[in-house]
């Protein structure tokens, strides 16, 4: 199944929409972990928003999600990867992740963290991410560089 999307660079005015999307998408997992705070979930994103590393996922004529790729000296971190609930389960997340990972000519591995018990972990495992470490809240994963 082919899913059409475009990644567009973000601008500062996208921040409020992304913070709201983050709150909606993360709420079930944060509530399950007894860590949901409606103010903190938004502020945490807004305080660290880096538009130069963040892209809006535009699909079916609407902004359907977001993904950030933050470069570090030894890896690239996938952060703030959220697909709006109305667009989940249709292959959009897989298509975006596959695109981001295959478009890279960089030798550094991709890393990310996902909340314990999140169904998103299965998506990442299907794309080659493996457990690196974990704590009671977060699961840190890495996609080893393919030769």
Mean pLDDT of the chain: 93
What average pLDDT does the segment 90-99 reach? 95
- Residue 130 tokens read as 């493996």
Q: Give dist(CA 22, CA 34) in Å, integer.
A: 17
Give Cα separations from 60 to 6, 30, 49, 84 (angstroms).
Answer: 10, 29, 25, 12
Q: What is the pLDDT of residues 34-88, one digit of tens each?
A: 999 999 999 999 998 999 999 999 999 999 999 999 999 999 999 999 999 999 9
Please check whether residue 97 is in contact with residue 55, taking contact to mean a CB–CB distance below 8 angstroms.
no
- Whether the pLDDT of residue 137 is over 70: the answer is yes
Position 147 pLDDT exceeds 90: no
As given in the structure block, the two tokens for residue 113 are: 């963290």
Report if pTM > 0.75: yes
């Amino acid at each position: 199944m082919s899913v059409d999307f475009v990644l567009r660079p973000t601008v500062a005015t996208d921040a409020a929409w992304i913070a709201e999307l983050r709150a909606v998408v993360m709420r079930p997992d944060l509530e399950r972990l007894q860590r949901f705070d409606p103010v903190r979930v938004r502020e945490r994103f807004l305080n660290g928003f880096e538009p130069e590393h963040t892209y809006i996922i535009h699909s079916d004529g609407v902004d359907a999600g977001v993904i950030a790729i933050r470069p570090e000296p030894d890896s690239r971190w996938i952060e703030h990867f959220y697909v709006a609930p109305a667009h989940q389960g249709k292959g959009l997340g897989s298509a975006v992740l596959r695109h981001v990972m295959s478009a890279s000519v960089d030798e550094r591995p991709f890393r990310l963290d996902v909340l314990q018990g999140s169904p998103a972990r299965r998506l990442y495992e299907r794309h080659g991410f493996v457990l690196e470490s974990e704590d009671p809240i977060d699961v840190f994963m890495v996609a080893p560089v393919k030769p």
